Structure 1
Amino acid sequence: MVLVGRRDGRNFGYGRQLSYAGRQALEDMFAGGHFATVKAHSDRWQAFVRWCRSEDGPGYNDARQVDRQTLNEYAAYLRKQIHQGNRCIATAQNRLSSVNRTLAAMRGDQNVRIISPSQALGQQRSNVRTHAPGGQDRQHVQGLLQALVEQKHGRVAAIVILARTTGMRLREAILADLPRLHREAESLGRINIQDGTKGGRAGASAPRWIIANEEVKAALLLAREASPIGSRNLLHRAESYATFLQRTVLSARKILHMQGLKGFHELRSAYACERYQQLTRHAASVNGGHGNRIDRDLDQRAREQISLELGHYRSDVVSAYIGD
């Protein structure tokens, strides 16, 4: 990603307010795209700005005043938050990383940054899930679907049910070739997730088959009903993925939060936990299970299968979904 940096004037030319300037620099850096990424970095930048204005912060409103000492003090503040149990390690590391990225965008260089967020926090981040994901309860999901439909977010409801029943990523659910998946479900009893996959993976060379039970078939039916006329996926024919993400998906996230779901990724974890129980007859460790201790071979085989279904092809990654 290009480091843009206008450099002249207050906040390196991005405006008088530190909070506004950060987002403007990020939008320049990402050239008007990657809306979810810009929003994530911007939200974490706002947390840094709030700290700057707080009693613990330096009181700055100009990014030109921010130096390495400022960042070290912010890291110390986050470290204290972790020790007090008010902040998890992953959140703190993400906040430092986003401050790095935003300052780089504003300055046009990387001269002021935290070189290693994990070392600055004195903590090693763990990618092992330790809490049960939201979206496991079917009634909870049905309530969420109803809330989305009532708010005219039928396409987002389709994303939710596809992610929960098949483990699709957000992009995969949006770009899924729904007529093809329907044909496969009816004729083969399974579907091959190919469209929108991470890293441009081609389904023909790396098949990712999911059993098409009645719940999957019902999810595909709902998605096809939500699909715009003349489209094979959830996008209007003249609508870009980025536009749909910005104007529809992001605005619907607040409904997910109101319904007690942190995000779409939780639904992939819920799918993984359900598949683990189906494959081993034991609950996933985040749900209080001990299958990994009872039968290690069975546990490993299940993780390998789940990794294939999630499109990772590495069984160690499954710990981020179901725990150790």
Structure 2
Amino acid sequence: MALVGRRDGRNFGYGRQLSYAGRRALEDLFAGGHFATVKAHGDRWQAFVRWCRSEDGPGYNDARHIDLQTLEGYATHLHQQIQGGELCIATAQNRLSSVNRTLAALRGDQDVRIVSPSHTLGQQRSTVRTRAPDGQDLSKVRSVIEELYKQRHERVAAIVMLARTTGMRLREAILADLPRLHREAKHLGRINIQDGTKGGRSGASAPRWIIANEEVKAALQLAREVAPARGRNLLDRAESYAAFLQRTVLPARAILHRHGIKGFHELRAAYACERYEELTSRAAPVNDGHGHCIDRDLDQRARQQISLELGHYRIDVVSAYIGGRS
């Protein structure tokens, strides 16, 4: 397929959408053949595009903006998925290789690429958190919420509150069944996070109960007040999850940045640190610069509980939120 426009145009002339442009460039590269190869590279390119649009990605929809730093950020993301048990090393390496191939097809050169995906993924820094998470100061979080309201980002304010008070992921906060959670908080004193979870971890086989204290109840009430009419979650009935991310969540991230909060994931880590202190009566390791001495069994039990509340079900992943073991 010929270029839509000049190579110096949006997505190097392959159209307005990053996802579409990558597939068209691959079809050009393989001259309309090698269908299985094109599909494999195309599917992996779509995973990269989804990351670009996520809370941790750069928000790009134009391949001209993708540079080496972007690819290194994606490599870090893949490495974290490996550490979390969500990807095997071979899959992650294939995804990086396909991004290299697709970007080269779009650009017409190999000036922006990860030279060795296997080396890059093998040499990523440890995922043990060494920096205290943003958003632990609740007064700072309240300031963020106030500005979000002023800028008419009420639904994003609800996401911030849910992430900070319950440890929900971004997707979980957006898709949370608010009427059900409200009933559980009212009648049971706890809520079960089940909607929008990773890897199909939902239902009775994967309960994820969170204590519904006053802060959680306030966050749920706020979310119900700003949710679209007749909806069960923060999405309008005619609105897709991807569209909400692109049009509403991503533009509001600048407000979080202005208040010193890197992203929604930081609020989830802040929740984990708070829970560690509640469970052990000691500051989370990442908040204690000299590394306090704590009973190892108590530390282990706290990490196990936090792993369940965050929906990871693997105790070693908790170090990415609260720091390493003492």
- Using the size of structure 1 for normalisation, the TM-score is 0.74
Counterpart code for 2:204: A
Are 2:233 and 1:233 aligned?
Answer: yes
Q: CA contact under 8 A between 1:14 and 1:25: conserved in structure 2? A: no
Q: Name the CA shift for 1:19/1:100 in 2 (closer, same or farther; >3 Å).
A: farther
Aligned residue for 2:87? none
| Corresponding residue SS for 2:210 | strand
Structural mapping, 1:62-141, within 5 Å: 90=76, 100-106=97-103, 114=114, 116-117=116-117, 119=119, 123-141=123-141
| Corresponding residue SS for 1:294 | coil
Q: Name the CA shift for 1:131/1:188 in 2 (closer, same or farther; >3 Å).
A: same
More moved, 166-175 vs 18-27: 18-27
Count how many residue pairs are aligned between Structure 1 and Structure 2.
280
CA-CA distance at 1:48 after TM superposition: 6.0
CA-CA distance at 1:27 after TM superposition: 1.7
Q: Deviations over 1:247-279 (max 9, x none)?
A: 100111111111111000000000000000000
Q: Name the CA shift for 1:185/1:254 in 2 (closer, same or farther; >3 Å).
A: same
* CA RMSD across the alignment: 3.8
Q: Name the CA shift for 1:201/1:15 in 2 (closer, same or farther; >3 Å).
A: farther
More moved, 116-125 vs 253-262: 116-125
CA-CA distance at 1:205 after TM superposition: 1.8
Aligned residue for 1:70? none
Counterpart code for 2:155: R
CA distance in 2, matches of 1:216, 1:227: 16
Aligned residue for 2:297? 297
CA distance in 2, matches of 1:42, 1:99: 18
Q: Deviations over 1:142-161 (max 9, x none)?
A: 00000101000000000000
CA-CA distance at 1:16 after TM superposition: 1.9
CA-CA distance at 1:127 after TM superposition: 0.8
Aligned residue for 1:188? 188
CA distance in 2, matches of 1:97, 1:33: 13
Counterpart code for 2:101: A
Q: CA contact under 8 A between 1:134 and 1:266: conserved in structure 2? A: yes
CA distance in 2, matches of 1:211, 1:135: 20
More moved, 265-274 vs 239-248: 239-248
More moved, 21-30 vs 258-267: 21-30
CA-CA distance at 1:310 after TM superposition: 0.2
Q: CA contact under 8 A between 1:25 and 1:102: conserved in structure 2? A: no
| Corresponding residue SS for 1:191 | strand
Structural mapping, 1:212-227, within 5 Å: 212-227=212-227
Q: CA contact under 8 A between 1:189 and 1:211: conserved in structure 2? A: yes
Aligned residue for 2:19? 27
CA distance in 2, matches of 1:283, 1:118: 37
| Corresponding residue SS for 1:129 | coil
Aligned residue for 2:51? 37
Q: Deviations over 1:205-230 (max 9, x none)?
A: 21100000011001100010011111
CA-CA distance at 1:199 after TM superposition: 1.3
CA-CA distance at 1:37 after TM superposition: 1.9
Aligned residue for 1:198? 198
Q: Deviations over 1:102-132 (max 9, x none)?
A: 43224569xx764644625984421111100
Structural mapping, 1:131-210, within 5 Å: 131-210=131-210
CA distance in 2, matches of 1:272, 1:248: 26
CA distance in 1, matches of 2:122, 2:65: 20
- Using the size of structure 2 for normalisation, the TM-score is 0.74
CA-CA distance at 1:17 after TM superposition: 2.7
- In structure 1, runs of 5+ residues without a counterpart are 1-5, 52-74, 79-86
Aligned residue for 1:261? 261
Q: CA contact under 8 A between 2:185 and 2:217: conserved in structure 1? A: yes
Aligned residue for 2:315? 315
The alignment-based identity, stated in percent, is: 60
- In structure 2, runs of 5+ residues without a counterpart are 24-41, 81-92
CA distance in 2, matches of 1:50, 1:275: 37
